[in-house]
A and B are shown apart, each in its own frame.
Chain A
Amino acid sequence: MRGGSFGVPTMEAFILQIVNGLDKGSAYALIALGLTLIFGTLGVVNFAHGALFMIGAFCAVTLSRLLTASKTVIDETKTDFLGNPAKTEVPYLYDIVGVDAANVIIDWAVPLSILFAIPVMMLIGVAIERGLIRHFYKRAHADQILVTFGLAIVLQELIKYFYGANPIPTPAPDAFRGSFDFGAMLGFDPNVIIYPYWRLVYFGFAAVVIGGVFAFLRFTTFGMVVRAGMADRETVGLLGINIDKRFTIMFGLAAAVAGVAGVMYTPINSPNYHMGMDFLVLSFVVVVVGGMGSLVGAVLAGFLLGILESFASMSAVLDVLPGINQIILYVVAIIILLTRPRGLMGRAGVMED
């Protein structure tokens, strides 16, 4: 950033912060979208949704581990430091598809994990809904919160048991590592707005997923029924439509959205077992700001808050208000709730009992 003091922020700095906020904003938007879907259709506040995001991330970890599962081969041509023949790890995949193809597949493990994560997450989502959430539709909201909260703890502890407590680096494909000069593309001076490729990929990916979910809800019969159900569950039930089954599928879908959001986030932030809760709290803030029950609100607020957070992290801002980047989202949420209790786009009377 130029002109380090808190003065006139340059146009470049402004754009830099906006693009910087996009990737985090995308993650917020995706999680908040799933939260809102579940909340709007099933009327359940899912505290385990962050855990689904986290499990998605670990789907990527799992797949890349599976792909690199190796056998030990003694390489006679090399020796280790003791002079013995060196042992090298050779992925089984080499034997299956050949070395070159295998290397490409391993390199692209993270994007490939999407294919792996979608069915897994759908299954997990449906299992959670059928096995647990279904029994809580008629219980008090406090009970729903508590049981999903318990579930979140269980899920993250299971992940911790199997994968350990440390973050697991999961790199993006080679082609997307590194950064590019986004500013120069827009006609600014070179080397002012440098932006990592993967973040742009993440933003594009999020846009596609969000667009897909909206198109699905708008243009399919299934989506229409779900939207009708979100507006008025009882009426749709009276029409004889098996809304429960559709809601189960919605839960699976929301889980898949959270899951793929987690998969793609792994190169940005090495997954650890508690990332779910970290994101969940912020995603709730996003939902509250966007307006409980509003899908558009959730997405808009997600990006808005992501960008806002990025602005709050500018050193010029931090010089004046130290630590503001840590709390800006909460502060915004508090202000919104006090001035516009329904959030930016919320409906009246949602969850206000």
Chain B
Amino acid sequence: MSIADDLANEPGRGFESGTPNSVLHIDDVHKSFAGLHALSDVDLNVVEGETHAIIGPNGAGKSTLLNVCVGRLKPDRGAVVFDGHVLTGKQPHEINQLGVARVFQTPEVFPELTILENIMLPALSKRDGQFKLNPFKAFAKESSIRDEAEQVADSVGLQSQLTALASSMSRGDKRRLELAMGLIQQPRLLLLDEPTAGMARHDTNATIDLLKKIKEGGMTKVIIEHDMHVVFSLADRISVLAGGRIIAQGTPEEIKDNPKVKEAYLGEEQV
């Protein structure tokens, strides 16, 4: 019996309810592409306030899992429940409005908007909901959101001029921008897809510090990460995904000592 199986047998893991303080509940999710099982029998509970890392070798299905959570992909079977709402079948914007924000691995910003506008946009979306027709309100008058955006930009260390177009940013800066766009919404659940990939060590540490700070604020986070330094600095609990299945789950210490994990990572350098 794997740890995952043990967890699955815990009482109180009903479909709708989850554990009492569970925020995100992934229930028996399957997803296959042309016969290839990207995810099978994935069950996962993310507890309120925790930082939950999902690790695993390349191609383990980590990004697919995030895509299922935010509505980009529809699972073949199973459901994702967030805070009592079934996310499966919902549109991405509806999921976001429920308080789930995602930071993309490859920066997906709005290249033709300025950096400041990129950061303000998610905040406006959170305040105004899915649609608001306000053609006569001056964008320039959104000073409170603007101040907030400047603060967030500062906190992620965006040194670039905020009035420059996002298309002019370096890749690393775009990643910070991605992070800022996620943070400004102050989501109840933040999904981070390799937030430090491609960053220099120095920047990685700065990002870790930032995420630690947010952790104190109580935001629930799911983080996909390759860099074990990042994972062990941040995660309260870790789920290990290999071949589309969760093979282990537990605290960082438990995962470190788990032979299955070592086996899955055989040949990978990090562990």
Whether A and B touch directly in their complex, counting CB atoms under 8 A apart, is answered as no
Taking beta carbons and an 8 Å cutoff, which residues of A are in contact with B? none
Taking beta carbons and an 8 Å cutoff, which residues of B are in contact with A? none
